[in-house]
Amino acid sequence: MKFSELAKYFEEIEKNKSRLIITNLLAELYKKLNSDEIEKTVYLLQGRVVPAFEKIDFGMAERMVIKAIVSALNLDRGYFIKEFGKLGDLGKTVERFKKQYASFDEKDLNIIEVYESLYKLATAAGEGSQEQKINILANLIRQLDHLSCRYLVRIPQGIMQLGFSDMTVLDGFSWMINGDKSLRPEIEKAYHVRPDLGFIGRTLKEKGINGLSKIKPKIFTPIIMMRAERLSSGKEIIDQIGKCAVESKYDGFRLQIHYRKGEVRLYSRSLEEVSEMYPDVIEGIKKEVNIEELIIEGEAIGYDEKTNSFLPFQETVQRKRKYDIAEKAKEIPLKLFVFELLYFNGKNYIDEPFQKRREELEKIIKGKNIKENVILISPQDIVDNGITIEKLFDKAVKSNLEGILAKKLDGVYKPGARGWNWIKFKKSYSSKVEDTIDCLVMGYDLGKGKRTSFGIGAFLAGVYDEKKDRFVTVAKIGTGLTDEEWKELNVKCQKSRSASSGQAKIKTKPDNYFVDKMMECDVWLDPKIVVEIRSDEITKSPVHTAGLALRFPRLERFRDDKDAKETTTLNEIEKLFLRQKK
C-alpha cells in the first residue's frame, strides 16, 4: 500500500470520535495490508517503529522537526514558527506549507519505504546523528504529498492525535477476521502474553486466529502482569478460594525479570525496561541464579542493613531514578523477593497451577538469608482458616509491609487479568473505605491565591472503566497535599500536557476521558500520572461520571510504578462502595 493511501485512513480516523467507526476503519485498512505492512502500520499508528517496550525512541525534539521542515521546503524559520503558533499543530502547519510549496521531488512511496526510513532515523546514534535524523525527515517531507506530511511529522513526536487505544487496535483485528468483536477475548489473551501489536497483526495475517493459540512467552518481551482482586477479611478470602498460600505484600517495585545466558533485563508494571535503574538486582540475579532461560516476577524493596528492617515506600521510591544510580544503590540497597515463575528453560509455566509453579521456583531461587542474598524467594504459609490469615496480615503490617496476598493453590497465572486466583488484603484505615484508591490525574485547574506559585489549584482524578475502555471521574482534589507535593505534581504535569503546541491551556480533552461539564479542567493531561488516594467515604455523585465520588480525598503518594490502565477500576470502586464500613 502507498503511504498516501494510509494517510487518508489516518485522516478519516482523526475526524471520527466514534469508537465503532474507528474500529471499522481499522478493520478495513487491515484487510488491504499484507503481513509485513500490517506489522509496520500498527507501529506507525502508535507513533513508533517498534513495540512500546523496546528502547528505541526517535529522539527528535519539536525544534529538530521544525528544522527538518524548513530545510525540506526552504522556508524562513521565523515565518514558519509564526504560522505554527496560529494553528497550534505542527502536522497541519507543514501540510499547509506543503500545499503551497510542492516540490518536484515528490514520489508516491509505499508504507515499507517510509517505515524503513523512519526506523533508520530512530536508530541513528553517535556523532552527527542529530543532523542525520533531520536529513532523513527532510528527505521524506520533500517526497511525500501534503496530507502524508501531516502524519509523517507527528510520528517522530509520538503525537498521532488519532484518539484510540491498544484495545481498539485489538477490536479492529477481530472485525478484520469476523466482522464483529467476538474474537477480541482470544486476541487479547494472546496480546497479554506477547504485548506486541505488530506481532499480533502479522500472526493473524499469516496464520489466522488459530495461530494465536500457540503463542507462548518470549525472553525479553515482557508479559502483562497479573492483578489481584481485593477483600477485607481472612474469612472472606477462605470463603472465596478455600485453603490457600499466603505471602507478604511488599511495598516496593514490582519487577518482571527476563534472563538468558548472562543477560538480564528488568521490566516494570507498565512494560518499561528499567534495567539501568537497578544494577544491584541485575548483579544479584547473575550471581545467585544459575540457569539458562528464565522469566520470573518479584518485588524489589528497600532494606536497612543496620536495623534489619524494610524501608517504607517513600524511601524505596528514591531508587527510581536515571541519575546518580550507583550512589543511591549504596544508600538504599534493594532486596528482590521472587514470587512467580512464568517461563523456565523453554517451558511455559503460565498455565500450570500455582503449587507447581511454586515447587519449580523453590528449585531455582536458593537465597534465604536476607543479610547475604539479594534475590530471595518470597516466604509463604499454607492456610485453611481466616483467623490465621488475619494474624499473618498483622505480622506483615508490623514488619512495615503493605499487607498480604492470598493465592489459590490450583490457580493459573492470567496475564493482564484481575481475578480470584490472587486476592490482596491491605491495610485498613479508620475511615469507612477499607483501601486506598489508585487514580489517574486527568487534568487540573490553574492555581489562585497562594496556589498561583504551584501552578495548580485542584486536579481531576479518575479511574478506569474497563467495559468501555475510558476513564471516568471520581474526585476533584484541591486539598490534602503539602506544598512540596503540589510542586511535585506541577512538575509531573508539565511533562504530561496533552498538547503538541506547548500551550498551557488546552481546548479539548483526550477522547477516552468521560467528564461532566461541571468537572471540566483548565488544562488536560495525557494519561500518565497515577496517584494513590485515601478517602473517608465513597458516596453517590450526580456530577462525577463514575456515578460515585471520593469524600475527603487526600494524596497518599505518587505511583510512578503504575501506568494509566493499572488504576483502580470502576468495577472495583463500585464494590468498595457496597462493602464500605457502615
Q: Which residues are catalytic?
A: 249
Cβ neighbours, 10 Å, residue 339: 26
Helical ranges in 144-246 per DSSP H: 146-152, 166-178, 184-193, 197-207, 234-241
- The answer to whether the beta carbons of residues 155 and 118 sit under 8 Å apart is yes
Integer Cα distance of 237 and 385 in angstroms? 9
The string of DSSP letters for 318-335 reads GG--SSSHHHHHHHS-EE
Specify the 3-state DSSP secondary structure of 479. Answer: coil
182 grid coordinates:
467476538
Integer Cα distance of 14 and 8 in angstroms? 10
- The answer to whether the beta carbons of residues 7 and 143 sit under 8 Å apart is no
Integer Cα distance of 7 and 409 in angstroms? 51
Integer Cα distance of 365 and 375 in angstroms? 7
Cell 538480564 sits at which residue?
Answer: 264
Beta bridge partners of 477: 459
Calculate ∠ Cα 408-437-382, nearest 5°.
Answer: 20
- The answer to whether the beta carbons of residues 338 and 376 sit under 8 Å apart is yes
> Which has the closest alpha carbon to 238: 62, 385, 76, 45?
385
Cβ neighbours, 10 Å, residue 420: 14
Residues in the chain: 582
- Compute the CA torsion angle 31, 33, 34, 36 (nearest 10 deg): -130
Calculate ∠ Cα 321-404-295, nearest 5°.
Answer: 55
> Which has the closest alpha carbon to 578: 552, 556, 553, 548?
548
The string of DSSP letters for 22-57 reads HHHHHHHHHHHS-HHHHHHHHHHHTT-SS-TTS---
DSSP tag of 531:
E
Residue 115, Cβ density class (10 Å: 0-12 exposed, 13-18 middle, ≥19 buried)? buried
> Which has the closest alpha carbon to 399: 407, 409, 411, 391?
391
Half-sphere exposure at residue 443, Cβ-oriented, CA atoms within 13 angstroms: 23
